[in-house]
Amino acid sequence: MKKTVRTGILILIIFMISLLISSVIAPLFHKGINNEYKEEFKKTGYLSNLTCSERVLNIENNEDALLWRLRMIASAKESIVLATFDFRTDESGTDIMAALMDAADRGVDVKIIIDGIYQPVFLRKDKSFLSFCNHNNIEVRFYNSVSHIYSINYRMHDKYILVDDRMYLLGGRNTSDTFLGDVSNKSNIDRDILVYNTGEGKGDSFQQLEEYFYSIWNEKKVNTVKKKVNKDIYNREISRLQVRYIELRSEFDLDSFNAWEESTYPAKKISLLNNGTNTGRKQPRLLYAISELAENADEVIIQTPYIICNKEMYSTIVSMSENSKVSFYINAVEKGSNPFGCTDYLNNKEKILSCGATVYEVMNENALHTKTIIIDDNISVVGSYNFDMRSTYLDTELMLVIDSKELNKAIRLEIENYKEKSIEVLPDGIETKMPLYNTNELNWNKKMMYAILKILIRPFRHLL
């Protein structure tokens, strides 16, 4: 008996050590950019003198974000792809399921890929979701489910929708009430870009995203949902979704909308950046791309929920600041929805400022989840990439590089609104409250939490 217990304890210790090495220590050893990617990047042109057939729309508002998704799904005739980091069957998630169900009933082929980290908590036993997955025209797969415990830190952070061969939407919003529909105190503000092709065939960036999707769809650690549902439960849940879509069709007048071209801005060129699809350590492709795109810029504006840097990332900020006016827009720690990101900023604020960039700490009504880089007056880089080590070295990420002065101007107007609600912190540490900044003192609960986290997160900040 004692020997069995000792053997069990030894096995547990070995398992815990191996898990620590694979999940915490291994991600510390960051990859660099290889010459092959550098050459590929240099050969790709991100600017153009001509207007392309793909047009763009900036979607800033959460209610609009839901509406445009419903319009896209309602217009589908052949195929829909939905990729999302997080999917919930709350009100807006159910609305999306109802719309996708209607499309599937019309004969549209629906493919959905969801990151597997939240699956056991929110979806594994959800009767509505499982019934939805059992529709003949719907296939749902999960990226790197938690059963792959040794690769648990490598997540799919992509968020996009592809519809037929005509349009797609890509940005930073997950599929839940936090990002779609009515804005509440718990909602986050984000940004999506709708891309609509007015020409024949598929647009260039559409083809890039479609190719990327099939690459990740066929990754080894992507698994299909295969769980049967009781027939009575299936019929009940499907009927409920069908009734909900009848309400949505009437509420949003989904059948009559056709103003795609009139609602969008012209673009000269649109290109897709990605971080790779494998469940393992990544090359810092997006960090490299941003630094290269900003190389000769006069101004660089970076919107990110938080900043968590290693030595290479700090060096990138220094390099950009030597040649350009660089400014970051992040959540004020009093308002940020990610306590780890806020805490790391408190720990490393002086180091960030020493890189030469100005930081705007935004006190918005709702926390900002936006990921955007504005370069001069023509380039907008929008998608899912946070300026942190997780997005740079661990997760899959997507960003669109868009050469469009009209889009750039529209996004700049939104950023100016956030600027007015912020504290401007110059590289020398001088702070100025902007006109619409609303002082919100940290309560003792948050003060205590940040004080504890400032110590606890230090060994794990590369995973935050």
Among the listed ranges 4-13, 188-197, 406-415, which one has the minimum average pLDDT value?
4-13
How many Å apart are CA 313 and CA 241, to the nearest integer? 46
Residue 352 pLDDT exceeds 90 = yes
Mean pLDDT of the chain: 94
pLDDT at 328: 98
Q: Side-chain half-sphere of 47: how many Cα atoms within 13 Å?
A: 11
10 pLDDT band (50/70/90 cuts)? confident
337 pLDDT band (50/70/90 cuts)? confident
pLDDT tens-digit series, residues 213-250: 999 999 999 999 877 889 999 999 999 999 999 999 99
In percent, the amount of the chain with pLDDT more than 90 equals 86
pLDDT tens-digit series, residues 98-123: 999 999 999 999 999 999 999 888 99
Average pLDDT over residues 139-167: 95
How many Å apart are CA 189 and CA 287, to the nearest integer? 23
pLDDT at 447: 87
Taking Cα atoms as reference points, which of 77, 85, 208, 81 lies closest to residue 139?
A: 81
pLDDT at 384: 98
179 pLDDT band (50/70/90 cuts)? very high
11 pLDDT band (50/70/90 cuts)? confident
pTM for the model? 0.96
pLDDT at 15: 77
Residue 386 pLDDT exceeds 80 = yes
Residue with tokens 């889009």: 407
Choice between 46 and 20, residue whose per-residue pLDDT is larger: 46
Taking Cα atoms as reference points, which of 148, 171, 151, 149 lies closest to residue 161?
A: 171
pLDDT at 424: 98
Among the listed ranges 97-106, 171-180, 222-231, 363-372, which one has the minimum average pLDDT value?
222-231
pLDDT at 403: 98
pLDDT tens-digit series, residues 244-262: 999 999 999 998 999 999 9
Taking Cα atoms as reference points, which of 396, 184, 417 lies closest to residue 285?
A: 396
